[in-house]
Amino acid sequence: MKIKFLFLLFAALVAMPSLKAQKDSIDLLSLIGEPEAAHSYATATFKGTRLINFHTVEVPGKRTLEFRIAHRFGSFNSGWYDFYGLDGGASIRLGLEYSYDGRLNVGLGRTSTEKTFDGFLKYRLVRQGDKSSPPVSVTLFSGVYYTNMKDPNAQANGFDKYENLTSRFSFAHQIIVGRKFNERFSLQVAPVLVHVNLAEELADKNDALVLTAATRYKITKHMAITAEYGWRATGYTSTKYYDSFGIGVDLETGGHVFQMHVTNSLGLTENQFLIHTSSKWGNAGIRLGFNISRVFTI
C-alpha cells in the first residue's frame, strides 16, 4: 500500500499541469538558484538545500558558499532527569557547501555521531519552469561517508571490525524530483540507494532502498511548515530500526534560515538517519532539533 501511494504521488507530481510561480523579491531566497535571463523558472521550491534531514532539489546560487549547523538533542522519553533530552545524547554536524555555477554543488561535513566525515556532489539536472515545461525539478545526489570511530568491542572480541580501511565507508545515491505547485505548496519524492561496506551482522545486506517524500507549506512570507518521511522499502537487517519521520518549521531571519523540528532520527547523514534510526514516535522516542544556515556570495 505504501509503495503504491508513493508511485501515485510521483505520477501526480509529473503529470499535474504547471501553476505559475511568482518571482520572489531579492532576498535570501534569491541565493538559492538565480533565474536566468533567457528563461523563467519557479523559484524557492524549498527554503534551502535541506528540509529537516533530507536534501531538497535546491542547490546554492552562483558563487554561493553556505555554512550549515545541524543539531539534535536527546530523546523526549529520556525523562525529567535528562530534562527530556536536552541534557545529553545530542548529535551535531558542521558543514560547508559551495556552488560556482548554481547547478553543481559540492559539500563537506563532520558529524559527532559515529565521528563521521562526509562529502557529496549534488547536480541540478532539470529546473522547473514557471509555465508548463519543465513541470518538475530534478536533482542528482551522491554522498560518501567515513567513520573515524574506534571499534568499542575490539578487545572483547579479539579483532577490530575496522581493520580494513574500506570497512569505514558508506555511500548514498538519490534522484530527487520536486515540484512547486503554487506559492504556498511544494512537494518532492526521491528513491535513495544506501550502500554500507561493513554489514554489522552476517545475515545483513550491504544495500538498502529507501523511498522518501518531503513537503513544505508556506504560512507567511518568512514562515513555513515542513514534513519528511523515509520508507525503508527493502529488508536489509534483522536489527530493529524505524522509518525516519520529522515535522518542523522554517523561519527566514535576515541573512540566514532557521529550521526547528522534531524527528525520531539522531543521525545526521543519509547512512545514519535513513537506515539506522533506532527510536520511534510511538513511545516518545523523538527529539528536538534545529538547522541553521548562513550564505555568502564570493
Does residue 170 contact residue 162 with C-beta atoms inside 8 Å?
no
Q: Report, as an integer, the average pLDDT of 21-48.
A: 60
Cα 61 to Cα 58, 95, 134, 138, 227, distances in angstroms:
9, 17, 20, 16, 24
* Total number of domains in the chain: 1
Q: pLDDT at position 153, please?
A: 87
In this prediction the pTM is: 0.85
Q: Please, which pLDDT band fits residue 27 given cuts at 50, 70 and 90?
A: very low
pLDDT tens track for 88-134: 789 999 999 999 999 999 999 999 999 999 999 999 999 999 876 89
Q: Report, as an integer, the average pLDDT of 246-254.
A: 90
Distance, in Å, from the CA atom of 76 to the CA atom of 99, rounded to the nearest integer, reads 37
Q: pLDDT at position 114, please?
A: 94
Does residue 244 contact residue 230 with C-beta atoms inside 8 Å?
yes
Q: Please, which pLDDT band fits residue 217 given cuts at 50, 70 and 90?
A: very high
Q: Please, which pLDDT band fits residue 38 given cuts at 50, 70 and 90?
A: low
Please name the helix (run of DSSP H) or strand (run of DSSP E) that holds residue 268, with its range, or none: none
| AA letter at 129 | G
What is the percent of the chain with per-residue pLDDT over 70, rounded to a whole number?
86
What is the torsional sign of CA 188, 189, 195, 200? positive
Q: pLDDT at position 21, please?
A: 39
- Residue-range definition of the domain harbouring residue 20: 2-297
Output the domain CATH number for residue 235.
Answer: 2.40.160.40
If we measure between CA atoms, which residue out of 131, 144, 138, 202 comes closest to residue 175? 138
Q: pLDDT at position 17, please?
A: 43
Q: pLDDT at position 298, please?
A: 86
Distance, in Å, from the CA atom of 197 to the CA atom of 162, rounded to the nearest integer, reads 11
Distance, in Å, from the CA atom of 158 to the CA atom of 114, rounded to the nearest integer, reads 21
Q: Please, which pLDDT band fits residue 35 given cuts at 50, 70 and 90?
A: very low
pLDDT higher than 60, residue 146? yes
Does residue 293 contact residue 48 with C-beta atoms inside 8 Å?
yes
The three-state (H, E, C) secondary structure of 198-228, written as one string = CCCCCCCCCEEEEEEEEEEEEEECCEEEEEE
> What cell does 174 get?
538519490
Ranges 4-8, 68-72, 258-262: which has the least confidence? 4-8
pLDDT higher than 70, residue 137? yes
Mean pLDDT of the chain, nearest integer: 88
Q: Please, which pLDDT band fits residue 252 given cuts at 50, 70 and 90?
A: confident
